[in-house]
Chain A
Amino acid sequence: MRTPFRPLSRRGLLTGTLGSAALLAAGGSLAGCGTKGAQQTEAGCVSEDLSGTEKKLAFSNWPQYMDVDEKDESKRPTLDAFIARSGIQVTYTEDVNDNNEFFGKVQNQLAGCQATGRDIMVLTDWMAARMIRLGWIQKLDPAKMPNVASNLLPSLRGRSFDKDNQLAVPWQSGLAGIAYNGAVAKELRTVDELLTRSDLKGKVTALSEMRDTMGLLLQSNGHDPSNFTAAQFDDALNKLKKAVDSGQIRKFTGNDYAPDLAKGDIAACVGWSGDVIQLGFEDEKIKFVVPESGVMLWSDNMLVPNKATHKGNAEQLIDYYYEPAVAAQLAAYVNYICPVQGAQAEMEKIDPDLAANPLIFPDDAMLSKAKVFMALDEKQEREYEGKFQQVIGA
């Protein structure tokens, strides 16, 4: 029996596929030799503002970072009030789960000066610094945001990545310090205790966010995280490495340390104030500690990316959240440090206990111990991050 056509043999198919792949490879390498730089300039990537005609705004934020109605979780009181007052339709998306992941999400568009479909995105200091360095962020007009100009906490002004307060406006701030669960650990006061006390062995976690963990370690060595040398960094890293090698540190985490701390699987950790306060409401044995050597202050910042077409609307929303009454309402829900002066007085009316909490409204004594991590250039960032990742094992 004759076959009407020569059947495609497996070998033939493989050779064909490999052949075309090789051809493509050759073509690909001829066509695009490497990648273009991601750096943008203000003149090279101009964005249009359609706020005058379009009453719209796309807002990307982290989960559980906006107040919701106690009875109906789909209602967001402060945001709904803004929509009603301004007539701007806000599309609120909780799609920032991790700075690095989010960077991966918008990187290709922003590197090519294209729209991301977002008008405001909320990112942590160091990521904001990176994007600003790459020229991906639009300048805001301070004249359109009088509340920000008058109410932003002094310690959050003139940060190294945004000297003129025109690019990044803090949404919420927080502290990175140490925390422990009193049910399984004795009182904890210093970073050194966390790294060496034998009763905590294997029950300690630290944050995989390099700036927070290393900032605390630098401080525990008596160095200043907002201005340190490579040698000082290496010293602090060695200290961390000893704790990892000895098995003192069990793992490095993101937000996921919180349930483990609550269960007692970990006894103590490097953690964030907001998480720990919330755990503390449910179980008063869980405590946040500001180490004597100092604590790290970070912020998540509202940024308007290039090619976002509603900058004017964004400025209105940012300014709205710097009204003390609105800021207090938000802070009462999220329990992070409120970056708005005057909100403390408003909070007295909502919840006097929260108004008196130094982890939401830090006093001067605490703020004097708080440092913001130095802004790094790309080379430093890769070097420090690489060394840190080696120690934490990834």
Chain B
Amino acid sequence: MSALAHVPTGQSAAAPPPSARRGRHRFLPYLLLLPGAAWLLLFFALPLVQLAAASLYDPSGSLSTGYALTFAFGNYPDALAAYWPQFVRSFGYAALALVLALLMGYPLAYAIAQKAGRWKNLLLVCVVAPMFTSFLVRTLAWKTILSDNGWFVGVLRDVHLLAPDGRLLATPFAVVLGLTYNFLPFLVLPLYASLERLDRRLLEAASDLYASPVRAFRRVTLPLSMPGLVAGTLLFFIPASGDYINAELLGTPNEYMIGNVIDSAFLVRLDYPQGAALSFLLMAAMLAVVFVYLRRAGTEEVL
């Protein structure tokens, strides 16, 4: 609803003619978009084009002689053939971490939104507070907690959940745990936002109509929290599958994810075409996953 529509006709003599006004307003949204668009263009679109070009460089080029753009599409199958296990692992770990995070995050978000009462703000701060320290520091802290000679592993060994020479650090378990921990707030916050708006009266109505609590959850709460759930899972899954810090610090080469491979292609091996091709493959794979997911979840609102 625009204010313009309410302008009484009597005042139109003092105001500029409507057509001129329309003209000015037509460009306003574009003008407002300009800073954001310029930012996107400069720091997203242009590098993306550059990366796309780099992924098609002649792989026989080198740093000293330079790379020629020969549209070497073969870089893509080559990169995939060499590193498909890391791709599979990335999505596998991220999916596993997502399941764990959902098991913890949904009840948590629900409790904060609906049951916490006056503790609500404090609990929200508790979810966000770890983000005040650096991502690296938090991951390094897990390294200490899971240390072979730490108390945690010690207790697990004592109760025989872990073999006497067993370990947690440098295992897939540690990597998935790190991913779950590091990205949990990204899942909880959007979920909280949608659960907080949940109208309790709808639940009361459901029980008045003889729905069991489980059924009320399935038919009322869950569908109403869908936008938050979809946004949260995406915000969790996308960075988690591209992450390489957790695998680097908590894992071993056998747990390395695709992010580690891209990192080493650009920084260690200086194989720019391959690194760029892998980056694009990762991006394409994620877009495909997200697209299918949104189609199935059927939530237009989050896009």
* A382 & B271 in contact (Cβ 8 Å cutoff): yes
User: Which of A25, A382, A390 is B52 in contact with, Cβ under 8 Å?
Assistant: A25
Q: How far is the CA of A34 from the CA of B26 in the complex (A)?
A: 40
Mark out the residues of chain A between 322 and 337 whose CB falls within 8 Å of any chain B CB in the assembled complex.
none
Interface centre among B4, B28, B64, B69 (most CB of A within 10 A): B64
Q: Is B268 an interface residue (CB 8 A)?
A: yes
* Size of interface on B: residues with Cβ below 8 Å to A: 57
CB neighbours of A202 from chain B (8 A): 165, 167, 170
Mark out the residues of chain A between 1 and 24 whose CB falls within 8 Å of any chain B CB in the assembled complex.
1-8, 10, 17, 20-21, 24
Task: Given A4-B25, A7-B29, check contact A393 B253 (CB 8 Å).
Answer: yes
* Size of interface on A: residues with Cβ below 8 Å to B: 51
CB neighbours of B131 from chain A (8 A): none
CB neighbours of A10 from chain B (8 A): 303
Task: Given A382-B270, A386-B269, A394-B261, check contact A133 B50 (CB 8 Å).
Answer: no
Q: Smallest CB–CB gap between B220 and chain A, Å?
A: 29
The residue of chain A having its C-beta at the shortest distance from the C-beta of B21 within the complex is A4
Q: Is B2 an interface residue (CB 8 A)?
A: yes
CB neighbours of B266 from chain A (8 A): 104
Residue-wise, chain A 351-381 has the 8 Å CB interface mask toward B (1 for contact) of: 0000000000000000000000000001100
Q: Is B196 an interface residue (CB 8 A)?
A: no
* B253 & A263 in contact (Cβ 8 Å cutoff): no
Q: Is A251 an interface residue (CB 8 A)?
A: yes
Q: Smallest CB–CB gap between A180 and chain B, Å?
A: 15
* A38 & B64 in contact (Cβ 8 Å cutoff): yes
Q: Smallest CB–CB gap between A41 and chain B, Å?
A: 11
Q: How far is the CA of A244 from the CA of B255 in the complex (A)?
A: 12
Q: Is B61 an interface residue (CB 8 A)?
A: yes
Q: Is B133 an interface residue (CB 8 A)?
A: no
CB neighbours of A379 from chain B (8 A): 62
Mark out the residues of chain A between 154 and 191 whose CB falls within 8 Å of any chain B CB in the assembled complex.
none
Q: Is B49 an interface residue (CB 8 A)?
A: yes
CB neighbours of B270 from chain A (8 A): 382
Q: Is A39 an interface residue (CB 8 A)?
A: yes
Q: Is A265 an interface residue (CB 8 A)?
A: yes
Q: Is B173 an interface residue (CB 8 A)?
A: no
Q: How far is the CA of A133 from the CA of B147 in the complex (A)?
A: 43
* A394 & B46 in contact (Cβ 8 Å cutoff): no
Residue-wise, chain B 46-58 has the 8 Å CB interface mask toward A (1 for contact) of: 1011101100011
The residue of chain A having its C-beta at the shortest distance from the C-beta of B30 within the complex is A8
Q: Is A142 an interface residue (CB 8 A)?
A: no
* B66 & A385 in contact (Cβ 8 Å cutoff): no
Task: Given A202-B167, A382-B270, A393-B254, check contact A34 B45 (CB 8 Å).
Answer: no
Q: Is B267 an interface residue (CB 8 A)?
A: yes
* A28 & B49 in contact (Cβ 8 Å cutoff): yes
Q: How far is the CA of A133 from the CA of B65 in the complex (A)?
A: 12
User: Which of A3, A6, A24, A38 is B66 in contact with, Cβ under 8 Å?
Assistant: A38
Q: Is B289 an interface residue (CB 8 A)?
A: no
* A21 & B48 in contact (Cβ 8 Å cutoff): yes
Q: Is B81 an interface residue (CB 8 A)?
A: no
* B149 & A37 in contact (Cβ 8 Å cutoff): no
Mark out the residues of chain B between 11 and 27 whose CB falls within 8 Å of any chain A CB in the assembled complex.
21-22, 25-26
* A251 & B29 in contact (Cβ 8 Å cutoff): no
CB neighbours of B48 from chain A (8 A): 21
User: Which of A5, A25, A263, A265 is B49 in contact with, Cβ under 8 Å?
Assistant: A25
Q: How far is the CA of A24 from the CA of B52 in the complex (A)?
A: 11
Q: Smallest CB–CB gap between A182 and chain B, Å?
A: 15
User: Which of B4, B49, B63, B165 is A24 in contact with, Cβ under 8 Å?
Assistant: B49
Mark out the residues of chain B between 166 and 209 whose CB falls within 8 Å of any chain A CB in the assembled complex.
167, 169-170
User: Which of B69, B252, B261 is A33 in contact with, Cβ under 8 Å?
Assistant: B69
User: Which of A251, A265, A385, A389 is B252 in contact with, Cβ under 8 Å?
Assistant: A251
Q: Is B159 an interface residue (CB 8 A)?
A: no
* A394 & B68 in contact (Cβ 8 Å cutoff): no
* A378 & B267 in contact (Cβ 8 Å cutoff): no
Mark out the residues of chain B between 29 and 54 whose CB falls within 8 Å of any chain A CB in the assembled complex.
29-30, 33, 40-41, 45-46, 48-50, 52-53
CB neighbours of A28 from chain B (8 A): 46, 49-50, 53
Q: Smallest CB–CB gap between B123 and chain A, Å?
A: 34
Q: Is A52 an interface residue (CB 8 A)?
A: no
* A37 & B64 in contact (Cβ 8 Å cutoff): yes
The residue of chain A having its C-beta at the shortest distance from the C-beta of B6 within the complex is A1
Q: How far is the CA of A265 from the CA of B63 in the complex (A)?
A: 39
The residue of chain B having its C-beta at the shortest distance from the C-beta of A252 within the complex is B253
Task: Given A21-B48, A33-B68, A251-B170, check contact A394 B267 (CB 8 Å).
Answer: no
Can you list 22 contacts pairing A with B, beta carbon distance less than 8 Å? Answer: A4-B2, A25-B49, A28-B49, A33-B69, A36-B66, A37-B63, A38-B66, A100-B267, A103-B267, A111-B63, A133-B64, A202-B170, A263-B148, A264-B149, A378-B62, A379-B62, A389-B268, A393-B252, A393-B253, A393-B254, A394-B256, A394-B264
**Across chains A and B, which 9 residue pairs bring their CB atoms closest together, nearest first?**
A393-B253, A37-B66, A394-B264, A251-B252, A39-B64, A34-B69, A34-B68, A100-B267, A265-B148
- Extra 16 A-B pairs, beta carbons < 8 Å, given A6-B26, A25-B52, A389-B269: A1-B2, A4-B22, A20-B45, A24-B45, A28-B49, A34-B67, A37-B65, A38-B63, A100-B268, A104-B266, A263-B149, A264-B148, A378-B64, A385-B268, A386-B271, A393-B254
